[in-house]
Amino acid sequence: MAKHSILKFIKGLYRPVFTTLELSALSGKSLSATIQALNYLEKQGVVFKIYRGIWSEVTNESLSPYLVVPFLLSGQRSYVSFISALHIYGIIEQIPQSITLASNVHTKIIHTKAATFYVHRIAPSFFKGFRWYKDADSFLIAEPEKALIDCLYLSARKKKQFGYFPELYFPKSFSFGKAREWVEKIPDDKIRSSVKKKLDKVFQFKNIHV
């Protein structure tokens, strides 16, 4: 495959993040030929490898680390949650140093050229309460209430960094009743009881009565 011809398929995707596999499928060329073409373009400063099999154009100004999320875990879904989601919603002001994700895979850290991602495992039956952020070509993110409960859920499993919030700024749209409903959906009795207590402390600190 001519090295420049792959650019036609990259441009045709109309998004900043793309994978080796989808370019191979779109072009009808072998995976090895596609990799060779991408490596050539990388040497020319046209594209760069974000992570294994994940790429972006060097000059694409719309690239955001969050747009990498749908491509990180092959065959597995994940959604932005915990501290990262709370920051996106403006509930906490502190900018997280990494992006925190919820998934059904084992907890892991993924270092990429776009950002460092911390993937935290939650129970499959509790893997819900998320939606596309703004549009269907972006990334999955927890609803504000679920993001808060996801934090407390992890803190109840001895991950202390998710149980302390220096400041919380709840918007008027935040539903404290919905937050309590999410607690009731936690499958493990012990964890559910712990999260209830932690949520009560959050509400007491903010002088919230629900």
Q: What is the pLDDT of residues 153-167, one digit of tens each?
A: 999 887 667 777 778
Same domain, residue pair 151 and 201:
yes
Same domain, residue pair 157 and 180:
yes
Q: What is the pLDDT of residues 26-48, one digit of tens each?
A: 999 999 999 999 999 999 999 99
Same domain, residue pair 185 and 99:
yes
- Residue 32 is assigned to a structural domain of this protein: yes
Q: What does each C-alpha distance from 12 to 27, 86, 131, 138 come to in angstroms? A: 11, 34, 26, 17
Mean pLDDT of the chain: 91
Give the span between the Cα atoms of 132 and 142, in whole angstroms. Answer: 9
- In a 13 Å sphere around the CA of 53, the CA atoms on its Cβ side amount to 13
Residue pair 107/121 in contact (Cβ under 8 Å)? The answer is yes
CA neighbor of 96 nearest in space, from 76, 79, 80, 108: 80
Full residue range of the structural domain in which residue 42 is found: 6-57
Give the span between the Cα atoms of 31 and 19, in whole angstroms. Answer: 11
Tokens representing 9?
A: 């398929």
Question: Token pair 């403006």 is at which residue?
Answer: 90
Same domain, residue pair 148 and 195:
yes
Q: What is the pLDDT of residues 114-138, one digit of tens each?
A: 999 999 999 999 999 999 998 776 8
Question: Does the predicted model carry a pTM greater than 0.85?
Answer: yes
Give the count of domains, the chain. 2
- Residue 210 is assigned to a structural domain of this protein: no
Angle subtended by helix axes 189-205 and 176-184, to nearest 10: 160
